[in-house]
Structure 1
Amino acid sequence: MAEDSLDPSRALVLSLKPRFAEAILAGTKIVEVRRVMPRITDPTLALLYASGSERALVGTCVVRSVAWYPTDELWRRHGADTALSRTEFDSYLDGRDGGVALLLERPEPLAAPIPLHTLRQAHGFRPPQSFAYVCDAQRKRLLTA
């Protein structure tokens, strides 16, 4: 897929626990499970923000496709690629009829993580609870902070 096939209007910022950000960048987690469907065009660039103790922008990847599935079907299709145990998966989607699978590819770590305090000072960045959208100009500013 050519770089110019990515949605040029905006990117997705995914807030992730550090272990999941690391697994995505290592290529061992290729499906991100979400409770809410992001409104994106396939494919879309995603910025990976590691929350918790790391609190930094750590890399990028491409969201190749997004699909909603009933809970059991989502686990059957993608459970092995989520870096979640079945117990974690069930707990995360508790009370839901299904969930969203973001199929990820082309993970790229940043040369150095960009800490939250730098992102805030330079660009007023506020990490999302789950995910957020940034326009192309914001994406460029964040990645060069």
Structure 2
Amino acid sequence: MTDIKNKVIRAVKLGDGDTGRIIGHSLKRLRELAGVTQEEMAERLEIGQGSVSKIEQRGDVHLLSLQRYVAALGATLRIEAAFPATREYANQFNLAFDPNTPDENQLVFPIFGDDVFPRQRDVVLSIRPQYSARILEGRKTVELRRRFPLSAPRGTIAYIYSTSPVRAMVGRAEIADVIKLPVKDIWRQYAKTAFIKRPDFDAYFEGVDEGFALEFANARPFTRPLTLSELRDRFGFEPPQSFLYATPILRKALHDEFPNVSD
């Protein structure tokens, strides 16, 4: 399996020279590795063999045609953006989605393909103690935010950091849905379930026309809180003003240490 993988990597690796020619050569090598003849490829693509030959010689094809060629081999085309894994980029791209990390020097994000941004990160929400307690009791089922990614899939885990004076990670909940609405509609639909008073609501959403309602399910407290000092010492964690995305090491630790949260 490793040998095949290395052959494929060598087949598609770009070198110096004309990019179109290199892409065409890579497509030809992939086709040959897949054991497909030009005639068979032409039949699969429903084009003439001469057109297949032209693609493999020149490679200057539209993206959709390139996708169809790769799909005809039984593969999926992916195009990725690779950034240096400097602190600046690591902070800037601390998104809702995990990057690929082919090595410690790169952050790679897919920008084309069926699995674009496939791995959703868990989030950490900073919430005031009076609200976090109600969430973990199952009474407060909606949390409001000025901004939040609508693309967060259902079932994303929200780890709840209770702010001062508690200053600890106290539990978790599943995000059942993320709703974007005009602020006036958020108040009308979610004021009661969000347990927020009108003056606090108006002050929080001042200056924006739309906001986000995070609907929670299966909220559970941890068997023990993780204090801020412990979070800092073990994970370099700093509380967010609103939310952040859990790093892989923090997420793994929370998953391993709290597999059965308190009922």
Q: TM-score, normalised by structure 2?
A: 0.50
Paired residues of 2:121 and 2:245 also in contact (CA < 8 A): yes
Equivalent AA in structure 2 for residue 32 of structure 1: E
Paired residues of 2:120 and 2:153 also in contact (CA < 8 A): no
Paired residues of 2:128 and 2:163 also in contact (CA < 8 A): yes
> Which structure has the greater CA radius of gyration?
2
Query: What does residue range 85-96 of structure 1 map to in structure 2 within 5 Å?
Result: 85-96=197-208
Equivalent AA in structure 2 for residue 29 of structure 1: K
Aligned pairs, number = 139
SS in 2 for 1:10: coil
Equivalent AA in structure 1 for residue 126 of structure 2: S
Q: TM-score, normalised by structure 1?
A: 0.88
CA-based RMSD: 1.8
Q: In the TM superposition, what is the alpha-carbon distance from 1:137 to its structure 2 partner? A: 4.1
Q: In the TM superposition, what is the alpha-carbon distance from 1:140 to its structure 2 partner? A: 2.1
Superposed CA deviations along residues 96-131 of structure 1, whole A, max 9, x for unmatched, are: 112110001100000111101011111111111110
Look up the match of 2:148: 37
Give the fraction of aligned pairs with identical amino acids, expressed as a percent: 36
Superposed CA deviations along residues 12-43 of structure 1, whole A, max 9, x for unmatched, are: 10011111110100111111000012352222
**Structure with more helix by fraction:** 2
Paired residues of 1:11 and 1:136 also in contact (CA < 8 A): no
1:68 equivalenced with 2:172 (yes/no): no
Look up the match of 1:25: 136
1:79 equivalenced with 2:199 (yes/no): no
Equivalent AA in structure 2 for residue 13 of structure 1: V
SS in 2 for 1:108: strand
Task: Write the distance in 1 (CA, Å) between the matches of 2:191 and 2:215.
Answer: 12
Look up the match of 2:170: 58
Task: Write the distance in 1 (CA, Å) between the matches of 2:227 and 2:159.
Answer: 13
Look up the match of 1:3: none
Equivalent AA in structure 2 for residue 35 of structure 1: R
**Structure with more strand by fraction:** 1
Task: Write the distance in 1 (CA, Å) between the matches of 2:246 and 2:203.
Answer: 29
Task: Write the distance in 1 (CA, Å) between the matches of 2:120 and 2:197.
Answer: 35
Q: For structure 1, which segment, 63-72 or 34-43, has the greater mean C-alpha deviation from structure 2 after superposition?
A: 34-43
Higher RCO, Cα 8 Å, sep 6+: 1
Paired residues of 1:123 and 1:142 also in contact (CA < 8 A): no
Query: What does residue range 131-142 of structure 1 map to in structure 2 within 5 Å?
Result: 131-142=243-254
The 1:117–1:123 alpha-carbon spacing in structure 2 relative to 1, beyond 3 Å, is same
